[in-house]
Amino acid sequence: MMKKTLRSAVIASTPALLLASGLAHAVEFQAGNTTFSVEGYAKLDMIYDFDDRLGRFTFHDQIGADSSDSGHFRMQAGQSRIGFRSQTETDQGPLVLFANMDFFDGDAARTGSNSGGNPRLREVYGQWNGITAGRTWTTFNTFVGTPEILDFTNAVGQAGLDLQTQLRYTVNGFSIALEAPDDLVSSLNGSAIANAGGERSSTFGARNQSRLPDLTANYHGRAGQVDYAVGAMVRQLRVGRVEDEDGNTISSDSETGWGLFGAAAMEVAPGTTVRGIVAGGDGIGNYLYFQPAPAAYYDPNRENIETIEAIGGSFSITQEIGPGRATLAYAYAYADTDDFFEDTQLDGTDPDNLFFAGNKFQSIFVNYLWEPIERVTYGIELGWHRVDRPRSFGDDGAINRSSDDDAYRIMTSLIYDF
């Protein structure tokens, strides 16, 4: 069985069961009917990239960008985390206030500093009588099928694993929420048309216009020995105004994006646990974790938004061996960008220069974690990562693909849960 230390320091931090289990309490004291606690962990990662420099966590878009076989070493502690919680008893249930931060601020996806970044606020929310308000894990999310991985990215293709500002209601395992719309509609040259604040892009003079919050829901349950979760989301993707060079309004357009997921975990034999998840949708964007493409793009030739279909998932098996556990995990994320690249051909854009030029990400992880004493976890992990990229167009208009960009990473981690 997994100890609380493992839940809070390893799976949760990569990220996983924070929402369900929380972190271990380092300091706890009582003031009237309110309990205050400080919780967190310190984590040191020592990382060696055999091929491309993948950054502070595995970032698939970096594969093939460095073209170096000389190797890259780094040490970092930016994933270390500290949180503050209060719980006040009321006549209608506890009132919980929570905030936590890590030190991954800055360009975490790229090379960045070896040691870590500035403090970064991750979660801040209040919770009472089934109502959660603030910023925490998206409700289109589950940790039931999340593999036990040391790399901060964890596995691509998961449902959610994003922190969203939201208003949520939870009852009897069912949650429903309104969440801040924060995904991007891209332009044909791959640059973001506009962000949720309506910042203008120089490409087409387009503005993202968020008129509705995203609607998300999930249900967690148990059937016999199987823990399971299902979820759904729906969103509006809208470009509010598009102008030509003379400032004349050309058009506006909106599309509906949606997504679904299903996940399960089961201890199939003493000490052997399998986990799996499948997620996907059309216009799902950031709700499919670390997938290759945005939710949609704007096509000025047809003057409309085109949504992008994407699917992903992972499967893992964890086996208790000796003093610890070994995990083998496979992760996959695919975005159907064929229409996008065909439209860029009409637009005359070179597909080699597109910012989301990949269309398929894959990873395999093998790790071993053990706890010599309570609240201390050591681990070692080998990761293989691959990106498939449409490279160019053939004479017949077909997309030529390159599927030989891969990279290897080995890392060790020391985690102290205080």
What are the tens digits of pLDDT across the range 31-41?
889 999 999 99
* 3-class state of residue 5 by DSSP: helix
Residue predicted with more confidence, 280 or 7: 280
Residue predicted with more confidence, 299 or 317: 317
**Does 109 have pLDDT greater than 50?**
no
CA angle 165, 171, 177 (to 5 degrees): 25
pLDDT given for residue 166 in this prediction? 97
Label residues 301-332 b or e (16+ Cβ within 10 Å = b): eeeebbbbbbbbbbbbbbeeeeebbbbebbbb
Residue predicted with more confidence, 98 or 21: 98
Q: What is the pLDDT of residues 115-133, one digit of tens each?
A: 556 888 999 999 999 999 9
* 3-class state of residue 160 by DSSP: coil
Starting at the edge strand that comes first in sequence, how are the strands of the sheet with 185-186 ordered? 192-194, 185-186, 296-299, 304-307
Going by the DSSP 8-state scheme, the letter that residue 16 receives in this structure is S
Q: Which residues pair with 163 in a beta bridge?
A: 137
Which of 182, 115, 119, 109 has its CA nearest to residue 152?
Answer: 109
pLDDT band at 3 (very low <50, low <70, confident <90, very high): very low
Going by the DSSP 8-state scheme, the letter that residue 349 receives in this structure is -
CB 128 within 8 A of CB 169: no
Rg of the chain over CA atoms, in angstroms? 22
* 3-class state of residue 9 by DSSP: helix
pLDDT band at 5 (very low <50, low <70, confident <90, very high): very low
Residue predicted with more confidence, 184 or 217: 217
Of 77-86, 139-148, 246-255, 379-388, give the lowest mean pLDDT range: 246-255
Dist. CA 95–CA 290, nearest whole Å: 34
Residue 270, both tokens: 């003493």
CB 151 within 8 A of CB 409: yes
Of 4-8, 45-49, 67-71, 98-102, give the lowest mean pLDDT range: 4-8
pLDDT given for residue 10 in this prediction? 34
Which of 390, 392, 391, 386 has its CA nearest to residue 404?
Answer: 386
Q: Where are the beta strands (DSSP E) in 89-130?
A: 95-102, 120-128
pLDDT given for residue 281 in this prediction? 97
Highest mean pLDDT among 7-11, 67-71, 330-334: 330-334
Average pLDDT of 272-278?
97
Q: What is the pLDDT of residues 376-407, one digit of tens each?
A: 999 999 999 998 876 555 555 555 555 568 89
User: The pTM is what?
Assistant: 0.85
**Does 354 have pLDDT greater than 60?**
no
pLDDT more than 90, % of the chain: 51
**CA 233 distance to own-chain centroid:** 15
Average pLDDT of 2-20?
34
Topology of the domain comprising 4-417: Porin (2.40.160)
Q: Which residues pair with 333 in a beta bridge?
A: 312, 361
Domain positions in the chain are 4-417
Average pLDDT of 194-222?
67
Residue 95, both tokens: 């009132």
pLDDT given for residue 118 in this prediction? 80
Mean pLDDT for all residues in the chain: 81
Average pLDDT of 190-197?
38
Residue predicted with more confidence, 193 or 231: 231
